[in-house]
Amino acid sequence: MMPPYRFLLAGALVLALSACGRADEDPASGGLTVGESERLEEAAERLDQREPSPARDDSVAFEREIRHRLETENAAISER
């Protein structure tokens, strides 16, 4: 049978190791802290879950139209 102090030692070891997680202020990749990195990930997930907006669709269509006009003008200039 295991002596009682070993149970206490094992319990203390488990508690000590459970506190070894990374704090919000610890550095993460990209020069951010762990907390900042986690908040950015959460924000990105929320943005990915949003429904597409008509304004975004309009801006994409406008960008295509402008690109087409520029390509047409550039082709006309190149032919001269």
Question: Is 33 strand, coil or helix?
Answer: strand
User: Which residue range(s) make up the domain with 48?
Assistant: 25-79
Q: How much is the pLDDT for 21?
A: 63
Cβ neighbour number for residue 10 with a 10 Å cutoff: 11
Q: How many independent structural domains does the chain possess? A: 1
Whether residue 10 lies inside any domain: the answer is no
Whether residue 48 lies inside any domain: the answer is yes
Whether residue 14 lies inside any domain: the answer is no
Name residues whose C-beta falls within 8 Å of residue 45's C-beta, 6 or more positions apart in sequence.
none
Buried b vs exposed e over 39-52: b needs ≥16 C-beta within 10 Å? eeeeeeeeeeeeee
Note down pLDDT in tens along the chain; length 80 residues.
Answer: 556 667 677 777 777 766 666 666 777 777 888 888 889 899 999 988 887 777 777 888 889 999 999 999 988 888 87
